[in-house]
Each structure stands twice: as structure tokens, then as C-alpha cells.
Amino acid sequence: MALAVAAILLTIAIPSFQTLIQSNRMAANVNEFIAALNLARSEAIKRGVAVTLCKDGGSASACNNAANWEAGWIVFSDLNGDGVVDAGDEVLRVYPALDSGYTFNGNNNVTNRVTYNRRGMGTNGTLVMCDDRGFGEHARAIGIARTGRAQAEHATEADPPVESCQI
């Protein structure tokens, strides 16, 4: 009898626990990206130069527009503001790729990069992160205001609206 009760409890608890783990991983990934945005913004203000966060794709030293955001990103001082790591630019931080099963895409303004000017003003745009559960209540959107402020929210509640994992 005890084994039957334990089997029933495990059958109910394990799927819920897996969902909890997936949600926590999603939140950690979103928070890490927002931390990268905050780093870029604060460094732009502190240094008095443009600082860019861009898709990296594993090179750890240059922006790779052919890569996807989920392949990793870098933050660098962008002395001439061209959105590309040039001689004299300093790579401030390299972020690794997300685990497999994630998609992470930005709209037209933040398809490849987010740049903050010396006053901390940023590129206005939205990015959406999905895991293998797809779009819906588990997907998250990261909205970046022109003022530079980044905010995470459920993708289905984003403003402007996000309708899929591919924006």
C-alpha cells in the first residue's frame, strides 16, 4: 500500500518539479542577459563612450551577426560607435552560449546588437527567449526602452506584443 501511494505521489510530483526547474533556468538566463545589459549601460556612463552588447557565436572577441543570441554574447567598449570590435575597443565580458533547447531572438532594432551611448541611452527593442516548451506562458520577453532600462516580462504580455519565438 505504501509503495502504491509513493508511486502516485511521484507520478504527480515529478512533472511539476521538471517544470519548476525549466522555469528557474529560463529566469536565470533572462536575468543573466539583463545583467549584461546593465553592465553595458553602466560602463557606457562610467567610461563616457558607447558600449555595445552583441551576438558572439563563440569567437569571444568579435561580433558575429550570423550567429544567434543563444550562441552567446559579448560586452565591449565601442569607441567609434560602429557596433563592431575594432582596434582600441576593449572586450569587457564574454557570456557563454545558452544550453541547447533555447531560442533567443531580437526584433529589428536589436537583431544583432544593443548599444548604449555615454549618457546610458540605449537601443529601443524587444528580445524573446523560448525553451523547448515553445512560445506561450513560459516564454519571456526582454524589453529595452530608449532610456536604456531593460525589463523582463512574460512574452505573451509584452508591449509591444510578441507573438512567437521568432520576432
Tell me which residue of 119, 145, 132, 110 sits closest to 29, measured CA to CA.
132
What CATH architecture applies to the domain 2-157? 3-Layer(bab) Sandwich (3.55)
Place of cell 512560445: 135
pTM tops 0.85: yes
If you average pLDDT over every residue of the chain, what do you get? 88
pLDDT at residue 17 in the model = 77
- Domain extents in the chain: 2-157
Residue 20 reports pLDDT greater than 90:
no
| pLDDT tens profile 79-133 | 998 888 888 899 999 999 999 999 999 988 899 999 999 999 998 999 999 999 9
> Highest-confidence range of 11-20, 36-45, 56-65, by mean pLDDT?
36-45
8 pLDDT more than 80:
no
What is the pLDDT, as a whole number, of residue 7?
Answer: 67
DSSP state of 155: G
| Residues contacting 93, CB < 8 A, separation 6+ | 36, 39, 74, 75
Assess whether pLDDT exceeds 80 at residue 61. no
